[in-house]
Chain A
């Protein structure tokens, strides 16, 4: 798995947030646009792109995009 591609896929789930704001260290739940609906888009994206179903707790326990990447990578 490539972290840069993961960040791109992650950023694509947002409509109004500047793509430049997304890095491995971004605290994604602090973003203004983050909502429970974005969380569902992320779960769907991870299923589509990585064939992994993440749990609600995986998102709740992650602060940064890197944290979530690590969880997905482990389950692949």
Chain B
């Protein structure tokens, strides 16, 4: 299996961290920008869903590749911002995208590790040879399930949808290698306590409370326990990447691109230094888009590596996604001659 094409769609509305109304002055905003590297993010208008962004990303990708929706044998939707509690959003998207009725569609409700898990799952399905063409979507509307009056999350997270076209092509495919990781004891490091079966939505879950100075949340809002996530993110991703490098005898000097989940610059730089890959091989897009969870690795590829990945010489890539779960995954792959569509706006 090889990556044949990639696209990304972001909302047109931009929120600049420097002018967010949640800070007492610009100085406070500047400190946050300096420590995270995140200057702004794109935000959907109320009512726009991750699946809306997805339709635009997928239709544009198919058109640019000359694929018909009818050619797609498998459609995987990595997303936690689902349209409805039931059914899974991939079913709704089958109809909206006019995919075949015998297309294999499913949701993968992963967060930041989702694109890597998705590549592994779809790659395994395709390796049987019955699917020739697949679309892997990684999409999220993080601004909608977090409280806009929560200073710990608003400057960090943005919205995006990405589409990765995968093709069964044994002649031009190189092996992909994966390492997985999970620590369920950290389930409450990044979570939304209410809205599932454990804690259903009640009137109390919808009440907004000031849980710390400047931090307002409802029970249904996503909580990010910054200190615990940080401690996890500086430990497990380097460990995972080092494990991948060791297990699959990867010569780090031959790596062209280190594609990291765009958590924040401070965390990502610690990971990069731990695996000894130079900064010029480690692209970032978080300054412009913030943390877009599962979409962040493919968005980095689309927005920052278009020329490199569309060239005919294959690039040797390492990727690492890590976050909510806590779950993480690393992969090694090669990509070249990829149809890279520029970032489009919704």
Contacts and interface: CB of A to CB of B under 8 A. Distances in A.
Interface in B223-245: 225-228, 230-232, 234-235
A56 B32 contact: no
A40 B270 contact: no
Given A43-B231, A44-B234, A47-B235, A56 B270 contact: no
Contacts of B230: 40, 43-44
Interface SS of A by simple majority: helix
Nearest to A38: B35
B31 interface: yes
B226 A53 contact: no
Interface residues of B, number: 15
A56 B152 contact: no
Contacts, number: 40
Interface SS of B by simple majority: helix
Contacts of B31: 35, 37
A40 B235 contact: no
A68 interface: no
Nearest to B231: A53
Nearest to B28: A35
A56 B225 contact: yes
Contacts of B226: 36, 39-40, 56
Interface string A38-72: 01100110010000011111010000000000000
B150 to A, nearest CB: 12
B266 interface: yes
A22 B234 CA distance: 26
A59 to B, nearest CB: 6
B227 A55 contact: yes
Interface of B: 31-32, 35, 152, 225-228, 230-232, 234-235, 266, 270
